[in-house]
Structure 1
Amino acid sequence: MTAVDYPFNPEADEDRKVPDPEADALLAGAVDLHQHPGPSPFPRRMSILDAARDAATVGFRAIVAKSHHHSMVTDILALRTAGLADVPTEVYGGIALNRTVGGLNPYAVELALRMGGRMVWFPTLSSAAHVRHHEHHDTGFPTPEVELRPNEIISILDERGTVLPEVRDILSVIAAEDAVLTCGHLGVEESQALIDAALEAGVQRIVVNHPCFVVGASVDQAAAWGRQGVTIEHCIIMYFGRPERRRDLNELLTFIKEVGVGQTILSSDSGQKNNPLPVTLYRRAVRGLLDAGVAEVDIRQLVGTNAGNLLLP
């Protein structure tokens, strides 16, 4: 199995050429709900078309292209006549509710979903948890290649701690379109308020993104969300990315054990200029889970089945 010529990087993806038929077999049907191709103000090493073609080399069923700054739904539609329609891996998009799309903007959500988008990320770069974390820690986020004003914090709550009317409007749109709601980079308190409001609004597909990064959720909190029917996403770049930034794999294994395989998905969260390709990370993750004794049937759920059930109506 080899990657496409571009954007393959021999240094970042050197292990892609090492045969591992056992891992490759488990990638057939994989679904990645969290990739970061270009175009983006942040430097990226792959386009949407590059990402789809590379995913197709190992039989991915679908990928989701995410931008923190704009809806990629129209980018995906425009690429269909430029070769994307010929790629067997399906590509979906969505919208992240940061300042650059007008924040908590139900009009933008409605447009993105009714044009074929499947996911709505609540504030990421504009969340209080992200802004405050970025002030005190190296988040790994790159510097934009175009000049942008600083993100002002967006909260989903009013001064009394009540979910804002525009949030409830957005939730009604997500529920009507049977789309996927993710809590983005909201902290635990705001995530819980959003989840409760989403369930009340009839939203059926809810994801908490990377609880260990920015969100600050404990294993117990993630397990409690799982009991509410929420799916917990873990980003494998955190465990199989650049060696100097890797977290302990036992952390991931503990979350999976306590939350349950059925309420857990693995996504790449990759596409940044200096990181391995998403497919590279998936191969490493599958091999790492196999070596840790995770059953093949569970790995298939973690890398494909669960995410597919969320994404595809």
Structure 2
Amino acid sequence: MGSAENREAARALMAQIDDAQADRLLRGAVDLHVHSGPSTMPRQVDHFQAVEEAAAAGMRGILFKDHHYSVAPFIPLMERVLGHLNVAMYGGLVLNNSTGGFNPFVVDAQLKQGAKLIWMPTAQAANHIRSSHRKQRLASNVQLRPSPGLTVVDPYGEILDEVKQILDSIAEFDAILSSGHLHVWEIWKLFTEAKKRGVKRLLVNHPMYGLHFTYEDIKEMAEFGALIEQSACLYIDSRFNVFSPEELREHILAAGVAHSSIGSDLGQVDNPTPVEGLRQAIKLCLALGFSEDDVRMMVRDNPARLVGLDVE
């Protein structure tokens, strides 16, 4: 089924769900995948607007992700201006070449400035570059200076020493480690090493999109202790849609609701806003047969626990 058919199917299912029910479940939600601006790519909302829209929807928190800089140092300034909205704000660092790559000194400094999450390389990961051939997966609409592909392993398949130092820093600050856009084989190697070094918070983003996961990989990774995040933009009425509604259900059930979360992965132009995208994902999940408790767990409780927020 192509993207147009997927979007049509998603719209038909979402129409079955009352807006008020979705809005009720959106209250208290935590979105760990917000691509607001400024950025090297056009964005529909800036960081301030993203917080304001989240507050209007009654959301509890959002985490900003940019592929080429860290929002973490700006969070104290945003809290001074927007703190009265009572939306928890978080930032983190993506380890692309544009931010220093596997540089333990940069990671240490960012963690000391409050970075909550460290993503492995995304747009400049070797797997991303390979998987973006003919723009089939993980393609980017911005042309930066050509970058060598990054991998966490040496030619013998062992985790690089500098990556081990980074894992030690993540463990020290009890921050979150995300798989970024690494290949599933690299992720297994990385997460195994991370757990040995005391990293407790593990996150996999869109495992079936460009990371070459199988359903068995998702199941085993969830059992290993990682939270499996599905990106709303890949399933809803979005120009990034590549999966059918039925595939969303399958992807969630592969990990199990107890080990799943949903992030919007939105903020791009000509797409739903992060808040609207999460709302659509909630409606789609309900239409697919997930209960209200299931949805709350995926959009509220599980992401809240990952960032260290208390859950009622």
| Alignment partner, residue 306 of structure 1 | 302
Equivalent position amino acid for 2:219 in 1: A
Unpaired runs of 5+ residues, structure 2, are 1-13
Secondary structure (helix, strand or coil) at the match of 2:210 reads helix
For the Cα contact (< 8 Å) 1:208–1:230, is it kept in 2?
yes
For the Cα contact (< 8 Å) 1:48–1:76, is it kept in 2?
no
Residue by residue over 1:81-117, the C-alpha shift from the partner in whole angstroms, topping out at 9 and shown as x without a partner, is 4x22232211100000000111011111112222111
* Pick aligned residue for 1:85 from 83, 87, 93: 83
- 1:19: how far off? 6.7
TM-score where L is the length of structure 1: 0.90
| Alignment partner, residue 11 of structure 1 | none
Identity across matched positions, percent = 35
Equivalent position amino acid for 1:101 in 2: T
* Pick aligned residue for 1:178 from 158, 174, 180: 174
| Alignment partner, residue 29 of structure 2 | 30
Structure 2 distance, partners of 1:105, 1:75, is 21
Equivalent position amino acid for 1:79 in 2: M
Structure 1 distance, partners of 2:260, 2:274, is 18
Structure 1 distance, partners of 2:169, 2:240, is 41
For the Cα contact (< 8 Å) 2:128–2:138, is it kept in 1?
no
Map residues 162-173 of structure 1 onto 2, 5 A cutoff. Answer: 162-173=158-169
- 1:277: how far off? 0.3
| Alignment partner, residue 225 of structure 2 | 229
| Alignment partner, residue 128 of structure 1 | 126
Structure 2 distance, partners of 1:226, 1:143, is 31
| Alignment partner, residue 3 of structure 1 | none
| Alignment partner, residue 191 of structure 1 | 187
Structure 2 distance, partners of 1:283, 1:253, is 16
Structure 2 distance, partners of 1:133, 1:78, is 37
| Alignment partner, residue 39 of structure 2 | 40
Structure 1 distance, partners of 2:62, 2:152, is 28
- 1:136: how far off? 3.0
- 1:255: how far off? 2.0
Structure 1 distance, partners of 2:27, 2:205, is 23
- 1:80: how far off? 3.2
* Pick aligned residue for 1:252 from 238, 241, 248: 248
- 1:129: how far off? 1.2
The 3 A distance-change label for structure 1 pair 46 and 141 is farther
TM-score where L is the length of structure 2: 0.90
| Alignment partner, residue 286 of structure 2 | 290
- Please identify, of 72-81 and 187-196, the stretch whose mean Cα deviation from structure 2 is larger: 72-81
The 3 A distance-change label for structure 1 pair 244 and 67 is closer
Structure 1 distance, partners of 2:251, 2:79, is 38
- 1:183: how far off? 0.5
Unpaired runs of 5+ residues, structure 1, are 1-14
| Alignment partner, residue 66 of structure 1 | 65
- 1:307: how far off? 0.4
The 3 A distance-change label for structure 1 pair 79 and 62 is same
* Pick aligned residue for 2:215 from 216, 219, 234: 219
Equivalent position amino acid for 1:222 in 2: I
Structure 1 distance, partners of 2:256, 2:79, is 37
Equivalent position amino acid for 1:312 in 2: G
Report the aligned-residue RMSD. Answer: 1.9
Secondary structure (helix, strand or coil) at the match of 1:213 reads coil
Secondary structure (helix, strand or coil) at the match of 1:245 reads coil
Equivalent position amino acid for 1:102 in 2: G
* Pick aligned residue for 2:204 from 205, 208, 212: 208
Residue by residue over 1:101-150, the C-alpha shift from the partner in whole angstroms, topping out at 9 and shown as x without a partner, is 11011111112222111100001011111001112334474533xx7311
For the Cα contact (< 8 Å) 1:42–1:142, is it kept in 2?
no
Secondary structure (helix, strand or coil) at the match of 1:270 reads coil
Residue by residue over 1:237-277, the C-alpha shift from the partner in whole angstroms, topping out at 9 and shown as x without a partner, is 00013267341111121122221111111000000112110
Secondary structure (helix, strand or coil) at the match of 1:129 reads helix
Residue by residue over 1:39-64, the C-alpha shift from the partner in whole angstroms, topping out at 9 and shown as x without a partner, is 11111111111001101111111100
| Alignment partner, residue 277 of structure 2 | 281
* Pick aligned residue for 2:104 from 90, 103, 106: 106
Structure 1 distance, partners of 2:293, 2:79, is 34
